[in-house]
Structures are given as C-alpha cells and as structure tokens.
Structure 1
C-alpha cells in the first residue's frame, strides 16, 4: 500500500514553497543577449539599470556576438532560455526567417510609436519582428599620427604607404559580407559577379582580417594597423581612451546597420522582455546610447549631446537618410557563396 502524504504535510508544503520561490525568481528576471565590451556596458547603463529601477526586474546578460547569439537561439528553439536578443542587421533577418522571433506589438511595447520609420522592421510588410536601438556605420578608422589628413575615399586603403598596416572585416564578422556588398555597390559591380571585388581585396596588403570589432580595435591599439574599415563605435571608443584615432566618412559614403532588439519566440519571460524593449525605445535610453556608444538615435526627438554630435555614424551634419542601409534579403541569399568565395579568392593568399 502506498503511503499518502497529508495535504498539509511539511514535505508538500516545502515543495510548494520551493516551486513558488523558483517561479518568483524567474518572474523577477529577464535574460538579454547582448554584445560584450563597451557595448554591454552601455546597454546596462542606458537600458538595463533604468529598467530594473522602474520594474524591480533583474537583467541577466548573455554575452556574445550576433552570430553567437543566433547559434544559441537555434539550439534553444525548442526550449528558449533567452528572452530578448540584440542582433545586427542581416543576422536579424536570418533569425526571423528561422522562426525564432515573436512579433512585437504596440500594445505590449507602446514606445514603438516613438521610432523613426527606418527603425521598424516588418516581415512581409506585416508583423514587426525587430526594432532598432540605434544605428552605427563602418567607415575608415585611421591613426592621426601616421595619417594627418582624414582619408577622403575608400581607395585610401590601397595606398602603398599603408601596405601591411590595413584591417578589414572577414565574413566571420557580421560586417564582413555586407562590406563586400557595399564595395560592390560603390564600385558598380553586380552582386552576381563579385570577382572584381575579390581580386581587389586579394591584392590589399593587410595586417589582418578581423573577426570581431574588438580585434580591429586591438590592432589599432597595438599599432599593428594604421588604417582600415572599422565601426564608428569602435573608432571613437579608442579616441576616448586617448589614442590618436580618427574616423572618416569617405566621399563614397559608409555602410551602416543597427543594433536591433528582438523578443524570442516562446521565451520564459516574454512580458518582462517586452518591457525591457519598451525601455530601450525611450528618448532617455536612446540619447544615452548616442552619448556613450555613438549610436545614431532611432527614437524621434532623441538627440546626442553637442560634444558627440560629430561622432554619429553619418558624420557631421548628416542623418539616417545619409546612411547606406543594405537590402539584407538579397545579401542573405548570397551569404554562403560570398563566404566560400572569400575563403577561396581572398583569404587563401
């Protein structure tokens, strides 16, 4: 005969208390995948801290690049752990195509109404799958001691004077594939015939092809690089440390994308996640990110302080309209072939 515990036995009451405590702990946190380094520091200061202050909900960060986070989301698809994910443009569309994201609604996230039209991303023109936390660009970073005049053109990377001291992103970095597409665009090369772009990149005498923005910054910091394609966020971050680094917006323009916020499909704390995203879309958080990370504000009316206005991704006096925002649907179709061709025609010197 099985022994039945009384309805109010210490064992059952203890189990109930543990389950309630576990549920309470889960309900009082939200897990957010974001980038490392100064990016993560800024997300904490500008979004997580004010969010926690308002709601009492703890933000638990999951540090990683966009590619790392996408891999996690794919692995966790059956039982997600992450509630909110920061992903770069392009990787964002891959996550949406894989069915990893929940739609964002203005009912759950009222501050969507505050966003610039270019900062709202819809699947098939219908459901919103991502919103922007701010824009950044890939321009030319350079050592001002070695290069006294800001480079005016992307052709400067091929100047023999800088041979062996140039950095550009590899396809392992989320900027690598779009950088190739951007070069094809400014050189009037069709995406269906990229051989001229690969040849020119093959002939470029580089210090390294960087896999992360941190690696690019390290190359400038060590003196290994004196010029290269780098993000405005990374370049100005080095300047803030006292290094003689400048950032140029060449005459052909800059490739740009944004740090996007996503709600993970079937996440454990979707409600908390929606509230976190709503906080990120406030003018206060947007301005904070502009001042600390040099992200171009995605929220209407949010303006960087005068001290950093010239460090926005579009340069002095520009706006979102001046950025080259790529067609990710087209580029993602070619992502695998571009990576393969890069490895064969560029990296394999």
Structure 2
C-alpha cells in the first residue's frame, strides 16, 4: 500500500499542478476539507486511491462524511447557505436531483485540469455547464450464496422461487438503486412502466429478508447468511468473493443495469480551490486504476489499463466498454421518483 500511495502521490503532484504553490497561497490553504462518500469498502477505496495521495501531495487532511447518496443530498440541502461539505460523491440519479436543488458548483475545465482526461459520457452537463463527473461505473446483478444456490441463477425471476423465500435481498428507494430497480423489474416482467401496479404486486409477494437502504447493509446480509440471493452491486459482490466467502455474481439473461459514482463540487464551499484539487486527484489515470483494482469500477478516465483478473470483474467485462452498459435516463426516473417511493411504501414495504 505504501508503494501504491507513493506512486499516486507523485502522479498527483504532477497532474494536479500542486508543486509550484506560492508561499502565501500555502499559508492560506485550509488544514482540511470534508468529502462525502459511501461507507464500507467504497470509503476505504476512496480514501486509499484519492484522499491519501491528495493529502500527501497537498498537506490538506480529508475528513470523510459517510452516508448514502440520498443522505448526502439531504445534508447539502439543509446546509445550502453555509455548507460543511466541500466535495460529494453521489450516484447517478441523485446527482441530477442535486443539480436541480441548486447545491452544486459548476466544474470549470479551466480550473480542473484533469477534466479533459474523462470520457465525454461521464461529464454531466446542464445547459452546457458541467455539474458532475463520473469516477467509475458499476452494475447491479444477482448475487448468491454458492453453498445454498449451487447453480448460478439465470433469471431475475428466480428470486420468486419458493426455496429462496425469507432469504432474499433487494434495494429500497432509500438506496439509489431502489427506484431504478422498480423500472428494471417492469422490463423483466414485461410490464408497461406507465402502470407499475403489477410490479408492486410481484414485489409485495416476494418473501424478502431485507429491503436494503445501503450497499453496506446488503453486503452484511450476504456475509451473515441472512440473504442467500438477491440484487447487489458488482462492487460489493466481488469484495465478498475476494475475501473467500462462498458468494457468486451472475448476469441474468434479462441483463443488468448500470450507473456511476460521481464527484460534485459543493456550491458555496469555503475551500473551493482545495476541493477542486481533490477532484483533479480523482481524475488521474493512477487514481482510476486504483479504484478499478479495489472496487472493480469501470474507469471513466481515458486510457486506463488494468490486469485481466481485474478486467473480467468490471461491469462491462474483460473486453467491453461503457458502450456495453445499459444506462437509464435519470430524468425519466426522477420525474416519477416521489410517486414510486410512495407506492413502494404503501404497496411493498407496508405489506410486510
């Protein structure tokens, strides 16, 4: 790890342009910035791949604010006039809501030198101005206990098999995957998304052990055996597999959907320059490679090479790319987020 951080630090010093800071500027720089990120292995990777190299390069400490994307957005809205968070990682979908809420600062390519390293699809804009940048893609597939489920599941409909009753995990709308999961299930069951009633009936009939609010809760459920099959991110599933647990990850015949973890500069941050340097650090090829190797995030940074063992665990597979992913139109989903969340609470969670 020390060698990895040292390599990343050198890259950060060069790529983020921090070697030539003037003495007066150095005296004025903040002692710390606050970065919102996810818990568990996500936070550990963000710390190792981005925060530690950033701190070694700049001398600025990074204080994590751990929470889900929806929790982070709520905090940003509460702190809108005087934020305590400088940079925020949030998922696709919640990212668009944050832009609409007016809590994000524009990402200026003149101030973020490494924004040009990122593929066009991962720079998110409104009216021509960038408000978010992707730091890596991940997918939601079927995760299962290989001792309890010896044959890899081939369909999402397998969740409704009687022998899995009481041991299933699926995301709730409190998780960024929850609302799109409902849309995805409408595809699986060939239901017209304009009328989700049949999907809610199917989900209400599912004997689930856990409607998880965070990916960490899902990981814990599979690790403890509370869940033996269910929806989980490739990031969490492969983390368990790498630890030697009897876990498998399958891409069913109906496919999987994907999104990305995005970085945002918080509006009215008192530490804008330091926050931008943190985002620049995350957009180096070295940081993207580190995140790919630790989280199996599909890199959004151009020309990142990873070993074959890592490549096969990325959301698009060893020889794929972002073009192979099934990505949602988050504006369509967000337009119905409140409606679907309310229906879920009444017709799915309320019947348990």
TM-score above 0.5, yes or no: yes
Are residues 91 and 129 of structure 1, via their aligned partners in 2, closer, same or farther at CA, if it must alter by over 3 Å? same
Instruction: Tell me the matched-pair count.
Output: 327
* 2:175 corresponds to: 173
Contact 2:143-2:248 at 8 Å conserved across structures: yes
* 2:137 corresponds to: 135
Shift of 1:25: 7.5
Contact 2:157-2:188 at 8 Å conserved across structures: no
* 1:229 corresponds to: 231
* 2:32 corresponds to: 29
**CA–CA distance in 1 between the matches of 2:251 and 2:320?**
10
Gaps of 5+ in 1: 1-22
Alignment pair present for 1:46 and 2:72: no
**CA–CA distance in 2 between the matches of 1:314 and 1:152?**
18
Contact 1:297-1:303 at 8 Å conserved across structures: no
* 1:192 corresponds to: 194
The counterpart of 2:204, out of the listed 202, 205, 222, is 202
Quick check: 75-84 or 146-155, which moved more?
Answer: 146-155
Quick check: 25-34 or 107-116, which moved more?
Answer: 25-34
Shift of 1:50: 1.3
Contact 1:290-1:303 at 8 Å conserved across structures: no
Alignment pair present for 1:250 and 2:241: no
**CA–CA distance in 2 between the matches of 1:224 and 1:162?**
11
Shift of 1:319: 2.2
CA RMSD for the aligned pairs?
1.7
SS in 2 for 1:135: strand
* 2:277 corresponds to: 275
Shift of 1:185: 3.2
* 2:60 corresponds to: 57
The counterpart of 2:117, out of the listed 78, 96, 114, is 114
SS in 1 for 2:63: strand
SS in 1 for 2:173: coil
Contact 2:142-2:231 at 8 Å conserved across structures: yes
Alignment pair present for 1:79 and 2:82: yes
| Shift >4 Å, 4+ stretches | 23-26
**CA–CA distance in 2 between the matches of 1:69 and 1:137?**
21
Are residues 134 and 269 of structure 1, via their aligned partners in 2, closer, same or farther at CA, if it must alter by over 3 Å? same
**CA–CA distance in 1 between the matches of 2:309 and 2:83?**
41
SS in 1 for 2:110: coil
SS in 2 for 1:189: coil
Deviations 1:72-100 (A, max 9, x none): 11111111111110011111111100110
The counterpart of 1:262, out of the listed 261, 264, 267, is 264
Quick check: 33-42 or 283-292, which moved more?
Answer: 33-42
* 1:340 corresponds to: 342
Decide which structure has the larger Cα Rg and report it: 1
**CA–CA distance in 1 between the matches of 2:28 and 2:229?**
48
* 1:98 corresponds to: 101
**CA–CA distance in 2 between the matches of 1:327 and 1:346?**
24
SS in 1 for 2:280: helix
SS in 2 for 1:219: helix
**CA–CA distance in 2 between the matches of 1:174 and 1:149?**
29
TM-score, normalised via structure 1 length: 0.90
TM-score, normalised via structure 2 length: 0.89
Shift of 1:289: 0.2
**CA–CA distance in 1 between the matches of 2:191 and 2:271?**
46
Deviations 1:140-189 (A, max 9, x none): 00111122222221111112221221110111111111111122234443
